[in-house]
Structure 1
């Protein structure tokens, strides 16, 4: 699955422009099915027990336990290993119009052929929110007749249909279970659901679409819904004439039929490869498409007709073939399907989903408009496409056995997405951006005592909400970071050699993460690569224990040591079997001379090569290929600071960014002085590269969060003004603000220059953006603002303006059909400074006709990022928690971003008490997949309180001194 949250390079203006300094996180959102009882008399109560056949030996339904836990199999979260599915035939008929009761429904039937592994008189199969009709039959496919079904019962909590038989199924024999069912085609973004949009004529259109990962295939039809239960699927869709049906396989027949007097089209798809239920997809819509042929491979991009007609799918089509061919070579494995369909959906909970042969996307992750989409939007499209195409092999062809190893799927795709995108856009140097987008991002979470290891025990990830919770930054970004480190110290050639044999050996099957270590070890042995320990021994320390080390290098004594890095060193993390020691690959230079890699294999060691004289400096973790932070003795820090000031290009650009990030976080942990960290930003008045600037702004965001309500704020603004003015003047001279630079990352830094200059009130900047926005307001049909700069301009103008500017932005938000433009406007409207506007905007998030459900929580987070909206958003979340939780909370894999987003500014005892009271008051409602986020927010707030108390005076004085003329 694509990342469920995304920080646009240009949407990051929301906080800084209004003085909050916080980047608004664009998160994906999955809405939990509402608990309302269906009004439709076709949809029966799921608690009903049906009986058929003889009643001998039928368990009395009154004695069947209905609570969890118990030792009964229907009260367990995992399927018993008694049955193994082989093939399914599923026929579905989604209704794209409401029925008499005002509901959208779908009907269907399913036949699953399974093999009996162990004798049993109980069939357990997943079924959630489906009404199973009284027509279930069991047929034996061998010589002996099948047992009779004597009783069935639904278990909504564990999401099973239990079927008791009058005698046992026989091990080794195959059987076919047939069911008919009815479900609601609701707008909950999970399972078989509906998405709605208005076409270019203002007519409401309904799309029937799917999102099965992780545990929602069972909402579409009864199935053995676990990733290891692979089978072949035969899908048939009945749909209205004039609509298009899609599924994983190619269409093998499309014929008109009549059902219950209704004229329909029946579309039959070719059988899938052997695959997991979570990778299924089927869609009925009125979308159109563009296509190209790549030898015998059909590549198609589907979207709303208006989007296709506006050429918004052209960029995705142009890069898909290049990326597919790259991965075929990278994996040394041909793409295993005859087609690659990609479809942009108006309502979608994640960034994208890697369904085999039919990848689903948010519109912002697939569609690119040449005029209205920014450089960041373009990068978003190519990296998400690369992420999902990487999964077609790693995840789909070879699949994890259980969700506790999700990090391997998502971490791997999050790493190689940069390789695939680099193939499509070789001039962007996009591979470097993994440091900002993933490594730095996850460092912040993994430095908390409430973090968690990459891989958990299977028994710790059982319930659907527990599964949703592992779809987090650790799985995606830490997974990517440690795999990148592994590839670096093995070499890319050895890494890919092991990867290729792994995929070949396990294709169409399931694995655990240690299977990959075994194949990488084989590659190490075959190539004679020297390692200090086995691949498994090295990597288990990075995978089985949370966190990461800070490596301290003393260039005076030559001593090197490692310590578990915690933002609050006084917190007590869970015990680790490795005692928080890692085998650390250290890449390093001495005065630009690259040295051989050094392995730190214990807590402390002596390495005299790192001793320096008065004219030398040591720099470790070159290009941040290692997943660790680095600290130095004071003399080496001073030499590095001097190098930044006098000869910054002697330090690689990624390491200029890393020195800033390391220093600020070491200071937050109390390891070095905060003033030393602030000094790493002094060279920025002569820096024009994007990565150091972005690293500094990301870290200064924390100072804004802590101090934008105190006297520190004004002096901090004065210092930032001094540093950013030369950058603003650089881009004024380079572009005169009439266009954008050619270089990819320089375009991003142009945005930084504009947004920061406006945030500190630089008159040339504010005059520029207000004039552009005013010009647009005077002629709404002609937007004079370059797409890259729109987020900054919109936010600045709305912050400086009032209701008139806000209402204009809302009007244009409703008017545009370009998803990326909607996102820019939606984030910018959170920049308003009038409380009544922000409160009204918060209320809009409860109305899906105003703010789509997929965007509701990210909008709340954007408002909370505004210093004027922080308390309003927090009050709003507390007042509406039960509704928000029931709508968005239980199963959303990124719901935790809401909790983190509205509490990230907390830094007082009063706010801590409020947070703990909120936790206590809502225990009875629950926090679902945000449970860990509550603990992390409490821990982070305590650390913030302590940090502010210890550092405020020094920070205030430093900014005062720096801002003097």
Structure 2
């Protein structure tokens, strides 16, 4: 006890020193900020060579005009008070905003036409000035292109010669419907700056922005840069940044019930019920990232995606940032830390340094993901997420050709698991071209050649090692072996070098087995000959700790996915789960649960499911008992990974019918219902709420619904929203689906995830599929790609495939186009896999449960 106490004191002292050092470092870096900015090589304004006066490309702006700066005036017509009028349904609040803008640009090629972007704006009063002569130029016509280009075409009477000019425009538009009547915020990335003001809305068109916001006295406005003068509303952007990170402006209630408050002068978190945890993350990450930007951060009630890295003013979806002691799960801290690290990394790559076009968005998002894990090394989830999507022939390269990414829909489709997650292991690939153990003449490769194999082709390899013959070879890994591989496999020497490295391979002391890709540092799967697999699985059962923890999880993941691709037998994959009966660590269990989820999705509507549940119930019994003393007393272990595994233990035990788990969930929920005091630990609420609602009926569901409506805590509402989808009563699920059409009940930004929750429930999957087809225009406004992936995840019959193809042909898919094509491919894989493996799997589970 004394030793532990001493360590705690040392840790506390170290934390205090770290915090003080961080703050001191931040103050120092603020002083040095301008000097540092000059050494960071920010992306300069473009200087486009041009020789022709031809029309613009179909979807891209011509390069004959280069924007240099904008003068923007914006006025959202929001009232700080709602005037209630008897017998009038609409109060005085409006969604109108007006403004005017002047863009100063340089002409590098003679032209008679100015092209820029404008969407959903009414534009008027165009004035073009020759800055060299200070004379107006005549405008003959203004044309909005009624196509996905969103071009605003300004036709001139005279030709623009090379030189400096300006274009002034007045405009007005409407804000999107918002839950908060007193708050307006822009969210302009990737292609929505054109909905705020007319602009050159492409990432390469970087410029300086001077913004003035006109608003009422009792409201507050914030922007990307520090306000120029304490009593003005003018934000002077002193450095260049991409227009997609231009501006965030809002108005806030300032009456007595206002929960929003300023915390620090430099890190101005304006959030309700703020804990110090997010603030601490910002301080530490700013020191790690070496540089400082005067930065505000704010949590917004509605935001899709979870956060946006606007220069100097990062916005977050409220539920993804806020943490409240005693209400929020301890595991939510992990998500907060990761999200903050990701967005602050963007202040360098994305804002200060910008990719030229959206086909290289992986440079932004992949880098930010990598840096967030540089600060927080929990990477397994992203690795497997990328593996799953990159094993489809309909995947895409990290950097596809520019001509493949032109429309807004195509740009939005790039924001997927490949872009965000695949880059995690890119560095490990590059460094092996200069590996010290490799013969120089065989392994030193042109850097761009190695990068091309990584960024310009889809997929990843499976490395096959035959421990009997000594052969090692690789091939493109695809779930569907009938798909045509587009994998060129130019980097074979690199993998040869990788296996020469003794740190990447382990051999048993008696030479019975070999384990490659130790600690999963490589972006590939590994297959072995049958004898080596058998020896590895025997090792897992007899002494699993001889295998590194990361590889205990990866062996399961590789076995199941190789089986899906018919490179291994499905029985071998199932054999890899036998050792879990005595395993208490998180990573192996997470890998098993994630992969067995596919079996559940394929078979929970068939006779396979009964024996499968019986097997899983016995496998998880030891894990549930390992945590039982904690769980029964609504407590959690201190170890972070064990906290994750406790949730897995409860979820697997209850969903597979372990009686003691079912009783625990019912009793804890009943105590809350009867006493109105919730003593369930925040970590356990999500899983216990779900299981209790699943085992209950109308009473439990309506209790959870009433709590969802009345709760003001974001974390609690999210957990209840998920739990409501767990009921097995079809009529309750149908009612819940209908609620998603009413934004007063379910916010629009939550519609897609709510429907996905329902589709995850075997009782709700068919309901959800019929529902999204009946209401596609409304439900697809949120995240249609995520919606399609979730609702079609069980599709495994020819009829379901035909329905999906009909859906693809009959509906305007928009941002969901690629997701539907991937769903079609995945369904084809599922049909084939089920037909080939159903009988084998049923026999295996029946045999295991009979032992």
Instruction: Report the TM-score, using the length of structure 1 for normalisation.
Output: 0.78
CA distance in 2, matches of 1:874, 1:238: 46
Alpha-carbon distance, 1:314 to partner = 2.2
Contact 1:275 1:397 in 2 (8 A): yes
Alpha-carbon distance, 1:952 to partner = 1.0
1:964 aligns with 2:850: yes
Q: 2:390 maps to which residue?
A: 446
Q: 914, 930, 949: which is aligned to 2:835?
A: 949
Q: CA RMSD in A?
A: 2.4
Q: 2:825 maps to which residue?
A: 939
Q: 1:151 maps to which residue?
A: 141
C-alpha distance 341-949 of structure 1, shift in aligned 2 (>3 A): same
Alpha-carbon distance, 1:144 to partner = 6.0
C-alpha distance 167-348 of structure 1, shift in aligned 2 (>3 A): same
1:116 aligns with 2:111: no
CA distance in 1, matches of 2:546, 2:688: 36
Contact 1:588 1:618 in 2 (8 A): no
Q: 234, 240, 243: which is aligned to 1:268?
A: 234
3-state SS, counterpart of residue 364 of structure 2: helix
C-alpha distance 836-943 of structure 1, shift in aligned 2 (>3 A): same
Contact 1:139 1:175 in 2 (8 A): yes
- CA-to-partner distance for each residue in 1:606-639, whole Å, 9 max, x for gaps? xxxx999964311111111111000001111111
Q: How many residues align?
A: 781
Q: 705, 717, 723: which is aligned to 2:601?
A: 705
Listed as ranges, the gaps of 5+ residues in structure 2 are 1-52, 83-89, 253-258
Contact 1:874 1:903 in 2 (8 A): yes
CA distance in 1, matches of 2:779, 2:754: 13
Q: 2:316 maps to which residue?
A: 361
Q: 237, 250, 260: which is aligned to 1:288?
A: 260
Contact 1:620 1:630 in 2 (8 A): yes
3-state SS, counterpart of residue 283 of structure 1: coil
Map 1:162-173 onto structure 2 (within 5 A). 162-171=153-162, 173=163
C-alpha distance 487-844 of structure 1, shift in aligned 2 (>3 A): farther
Q: 1:845 maps to which residue?
A: 740
Alpha-carbon distance, 1:479 to partner = 2.4
Contact 2:56 2:62 in 1 (8 A): no
Deviates more, 1:531-540 or 1:480-489: 480-489
C-alpha distance 313-252 of structure 1, shift in aligned 2 (>3 A): farther
Contact 2:434 2:444 in 1 (8 A): no
C-alpha distance 529-87 of structure 1, shift in aligned 2 (>3 A): farther
Q: 1:259 maps to which residue?
A: none
1:251 aligns with 2:227: yes
Contact 2:581 2:620 in 1 (8 A): yes
C-alpha distance 530-365 of structure 1, shift in aligned 2 (>3 A): farther
Q: 249, 254, 270: which is aligned to 1:302?
A: 270
1:80 aligns with 2:86: no
Alpha-carbon distance, 1:645 to partner = 1.1
Instruction: Report the TM-score, using the length of structure 2 for normalisation.
Output: 0.88
CA distance in 2, matches of 1:361, 1:487: 35
CA distance in 1, matches of 2:200, 2:678: 52
Deviates more, 1:236-245 or 1:580-589: 580-589
Contact 2:475 2:489 in 1 (8 A): no
CA distance in 2, matches of 1:275, 1:703: 48
Q: 2:45 maps to which residue?
A: none
CA distance in 2, matches of 1:747, 1:611: 32
Q: 1:218 maps to which residue?
A: 194
1:827 aligns with 2:827: no
- CA-to-partner distance for each residue in 1:276-301, whole Å, 9 max, x for gaps? 110112222327334346xxxx1121
CA distance in 2, matches of 1:960, 1:695: 23
Q: 2:214 maps to which residue?
A: 238
Contact 2:751 2:779 in 1 (8 A): no
- CA-to-partner distance for each residue in 1:508-535, whole Å, 9 max, x for gaps? xxxxxxxxxxxxxxxx9xxx99953232
Q: 2:167 maps to which residue?
A: 177
Q: 1:375 maps to which residue?
A: 330
- Answer 1 or 2: which has greater strand percent: 1
C-alpha distance 346-489 of structure 1, shift in aligned 2 (>3 A): farther
1:551 aligns with 2:450: no
- CA-to-partner distance for each residue in 1:880-902, whole Å, 9 max, x for gaps? 224434x34xxxxx521111111
CA distance in 1, matches of 2:434, 2:136: 55
Contact 2:386 2:422 in 1 (8 A): yes
Higher relative contact order (CA 8 A, sep 6+): 1
CA distance in 2, matches of 1:611, 1:244: 64
C-alpha distance 863-180 of structure 1, shift in aligned 2 (>3 A): same
Deviates more, 1:742-751 or 1:159-168: 159-168
- CA-to-partner distance for each residue in 1:408-466, whole Å, 9 max, x for gaps? 1111111110122x3xxxxxxxx1x312x211111111111111111111111111111
CA distance in 2, matches of 1:243, 1:597: 59
Map 1:678-757 onto structure 2 (within 5 A). 678-733=574-629, 736-757=632-653
CA distance in 1, matches of 2:507, 2:537: 18
Q: 2:21 maps to which residue?
A: none
1:764 aligns with 2:660: yes
1:316 aligns with 2:212: no
- CA-to-partner distance for each residue in 1:303-331, whole Å, 9 max, x for gaps? 2xxx2xx3x34211121010110011xxx
Q: 2:502 maps to which residue?
A: 595
- CA-to-partner distance for each residue in 1:121-180, whole Å, 9 max, x for gaps? 1111211111112x2212222136342122212224221221111111121x11121111
C-alpha distance 588-138 of structure 1, shift in aligned 2 (>3 A): closer
1:795 aligns with 2:714: no
Q: 524, 534, 537: which is aligned to 2:449?
A: 537
